[in-house]
Chain A
Amino acid sequence: MDTEKIIITEKLTKRFADFVAVDAISFFVNKGEIFGFLGANGAGKTTAMRMLCGLSKPTAGKATIAGFDIYRQTEKIKKNIGYMSQKFSLYEDLTVKENIRFYGGIYGKSNIFIKEKAALLLHQLKLEKEADKLVGDLPLGWKQKLAFSVAIFHEPQLVFLDEPTGGVDPVTRREFWNMIYEASERGITIFVTTHYMDEAEYCSRVAIMVDGRIEALDTPEVLKSTYTATTMDDVFLQLARKAQRSELG
């Protein structure tokens, strides 16, 4: 196993009947990277991500996540990754503290670990006063920060973030990215999708999916010079406009 690469895929493919949602994608993600995964709605991002998380079985191709095979070792993959979905993975009618305890428990952490880490987490998020509030009553920005913290509560090697910052104000959005950087400094690899093109600039490398394929993959700097663009927004528009298929419902 290559210890420096935390994700390796080889011609990874997912078909739904005649429709090829993900079309033989091959790429890798280095340990410690902040890897941006971009694409128009319907390009195949979520399908690809679900396969990488061990939630959906590929139709063909190969992949390993943290050294584990995505066909045979999905349970091991799930223990070693975190996942924050677009639609929150938090329980709205549990309190902040209950949500943290619940996720700690699911990942098999001891009561002492959960208690100590929860206290630290609430302190870092400045959520001590809200610890016994229902998550449903929190503002969106706090929910997002809490959902991210919960997704990395078990200190996974790798975390998948599916459009984590939609709808919040620009300050909160940047606070969220600071949390991403901090997790990355602690050695957690980040795999993130976003519709905000300025956020693509914050990534070490960016892959752009079009019609189920990876059309471009490189650092933001190289992508911009390859496509003679001044911003990642230009790069994205040039590539995404080539899309032939319309999005799925």
Chain B
Amino acid sequence: MTAVAVNNLSKVYATKKETIDAVQHVSFDVARGELFGIIGPDGAGKTSLFRMLTTLLLPDGGSATVDGSDIVKDYEAIRQKVGYMPGRFSLYQDLTVEENLNFFATIFNTTVGANYDIIKDIYVQIEPFKKRRAGKLSGGMKQKLALSCALIHRPVVLFLDEPTTGVDAVSRKEFWEMLKRLKQQGITILVSTPYMDEAALCDRVALMQKGKILSAGTPASIINAFNNTILAVKSEKMFQLLRDLKAWQGTEDSYSFGEYHHAVMKKEFSEEQLQNYLVEKGHPDVEIKPTQPNIEDCFMQLMQS
């Protein structure tokens, strides 16, 4: 069964100076129990999309349902059924950890006790600080509290808007492990992120840029759709190597990629031709090896096509 169905959804912001098409005819479905990622940079339209789906913003076109309820007509029903963790910390800074949690439970006509099982895993980590004001918590603890508050009414669908932005690599890993456990409890999760590597942790993803979905599917299917050969290239002079790769006729695109550069090859050119060209350009030590594209390669190709 479908948990979220989005059909041609659009949002336009008009100011005196200009109109911004924040979300443009976006369509996708999220199945019940799925962990679905919206992957895209700042300005892609992720927040506008989430705010429409959580009934905080009215769409300018198209329609959508969450757990079968219409996001315009049935907004009251949806508010009971969804949990939303906005990108910015929006709990009450001068209430304590415990008070915040009780407050959110009460708003939804329930108690912390009734739903403790669902947050237990996360809440035990901040419980030692339950008498501390939320404003005095560290970034990681604030995040755990916000997640607990978004879950305390046992939502059917959980929306997380950029929960890992600005978070270090270790905390990001931990956060995704928490999401995996929530998924096992049957909660449908929509999560947005600007980190391309997090796509691999989702069941399915939509890659989003400038209000549009570039591609959607399982991470594997998006990677399979990448049609070119990618060669990983390395030499002593990496910056010069990149310039030489960009200047060559045989590459469709080339860019740095960690330790190596990636050369996206045009079909009619071979590894050997690249090797000869680079040796001639003064990279006698050049190392070339075929490599698999990942979501970041796909994203860059899609956003430039």
Residues of A within 8 A of B (CB): 39-42, 86, 139-141, 163, 166-172, 174, 177-178, 181, 185, 195, 197-198, 201-202, 220, 231-233, 236-237, 240-241, 243, 246-249
Contact = CB atoms under 8 A, between A and B. Distances in A.
A40 B168 contact: yes
Nearest to A182: B239
A92 B91 CA distance: 26
Contacts of B167: 41, 195
Nearest to A140: B42
Contact of B300 (A171, A195, A248): A171
B209 interface: yes
B304 interface: yes
A39 B169 contact: no
A31 to B, nearest CB: 17
19 contacts: A39-B168, A41-B168, A41-B171, A86-B166, A140-B43, A141-B42, A163-B166, A166-B165, A166-B166, A169-B41, A170-B300, A171-B255, A197-B258, A202-B238, A232-B258, A240-B168, A246-B140, A247-B140, A249-B142
Interface in B53-71: none
Contacts of A232: 258
Contact of B41 (A172, A181, A236): A172
Interface in B27-62: 40-44
B140 A233 contact: no
B138 A171 contact: no
Interface string B119-148: 000000000000000001111111000000
Contacts of A243: 170
A145 to B, nearest CB: 13
B256 interface: yes
A35 to B, nearest CB: 16
Interface in B274-294: none
B194 interface: yes
B200 to A, nearest CB: 13
A241 B41 contact: no
B227 to A, nearest CB: 19
B258 A168 contact: no
Contacts of A220: 259
A248 B138 contact: yes
Contacts of B194: 166-169
Given A166-B165, A169-B299, A220-B259, A241 B170 contact: yes
B41 A167 contact: yes
A193 to B, nearest CB: 10
Contacts of B238: 202
B168 A139 contact: no
Contact of B258 (A178, A231, A249): A231
B240 to A, nearest CB: 10
B166 A171 contact: no
Contacts of B209: 169
Contact of A171 (B139, B142, B304): B304
B201 interface: no
A82 to B, nearest CB: 20
B173 interface: yes
B269 interface: no
Given A198-B257, A220-B259, A249-B136, A236 B169 contact: yes
Contact of A201 (B138, B142, B171, B259): B259
Contacts of A181: 239
Given A139-B42, A167-B41, A169-B299, A195 B256 contact: no
Nearest to A143: B42
B220 interface: no
Contacts of B242: 178
A101 to B, nearest CB: 23
B252 interface: no
B127 to A, nearest CB: 14
B43 A139 contact: yes
Contacts of B300: 170-171
B144 to A, nearest CB: 11
Contacts of A233: 169
